[in-house]
Amino acid sequence: MNMYALLVISVINLSVDYGSYDFVIVDAGSGGSVVATRLSEMNSYKILLLEAVGEEDDFSQIPSMFFHLFFTKMNWGYFSTPQTTCCLGMKNRACAVPRGTFLVVVVL
């Protein structure tokens, strides 16, 4: 099952009914945010914007503790391709590229 299917399942399991929408945008990345913003400029559309996230913990509220979240379920676990000049002490010489995982529901 892919990530977006899991998002839909987790949204369906929410006890809050947000109604119906003209557009549902999954992923509030650079493209999704632009599309949602442009569509919201037309007041006749009802838009739901979803972004993948997880449950917060105490460390997620303290900016200087971000490094504690690198290898938890709050991180997608991305790594770079093998490097030749950096991350030489890491497994496969790949740098960790942390990206947070939270589910945010935005109704526009």
Sketch the domain layout of the chain as residue ranges: 22-107
Q: Residue 107: beta bridge partners?
A: 48
Tell me the C-alpha distance between 29 and 21, whole Å.
20
pLDDT in tens, the chain (108 residues): 444 444 444 444 555 666 788 888 887 777 888 888 888 888 888 888 877 665 666 776 777 877 777 777 777 788 889 999 988 888 888 988 877 766 555 565
The pLDDT of residue 3: 46
Q: How many residues does the chain have?
A: 108
Report yes or no on whether pTM surpasses 0.75: no
Alpha helix segments (H runs only) across 13-98? 30-40
